Amino acid sequence: MSISSVKTFFAEHAPDIAVIELPQSTATVALAAEGHGVEPAQIAKTLALRVADEVILIVTRGDARLDNKKYKARFSTKARMLGFDEVEEETGHPVGGVCPFGLAKPHKVYCDVSLKAYDEVVPAAGAPHAAVRINPERMALLSSAEWIDVSEVWSASAFE
């Protein structure tokens, strides 16, 4: 799975989008922003969470974190991140490369409205050194995501 499944996904669903592979790791928001020459907020990070017995993915901007009150109001439970070892099993992607494309198993995907502040965002692409550049609306469309509001935006200085 991982990067090859993401490349296959884009070849089938959006052949105009190329997977960008860098020689260095982009596994953190700060590394990804530096590697792709964008501000941290433009990195679209994908969080893998468990809601009851279901795994969901939430894509939010890089300088945001989940707002516990908003999350609980939306999902009627506290946010529970998947364990490190569960992430790759559920998504097919290693930590640092998780994205809503080319998933190992079908999971419900949500995009946080914070992403709409940008015309282009940079989510990972199945590996800690791979990403794509994509419009947030198109990302949501391709991943069959539902738009939600569950984050609070940090200042960009939190990543410097």
Is the four-CA dihedral 31, 34, 38, 41 of positive or negative sign?
positive
Radius of gyration of the chain (CA): 14
Reported as a single tens digit per residue, the pLDDT across 3-38 is 999 999 999 999 999 999 999 999 999 999 999 999
Write out pLDDT tens, residues 32-76: 999 999 999 999 999 999 999 999 999 999 999 999 999 999 999
pLDDT confidence bin for 158, thresholds 50/70/90: very low
Helix (H, G, I), strand (E, B) or coil at 36: helix
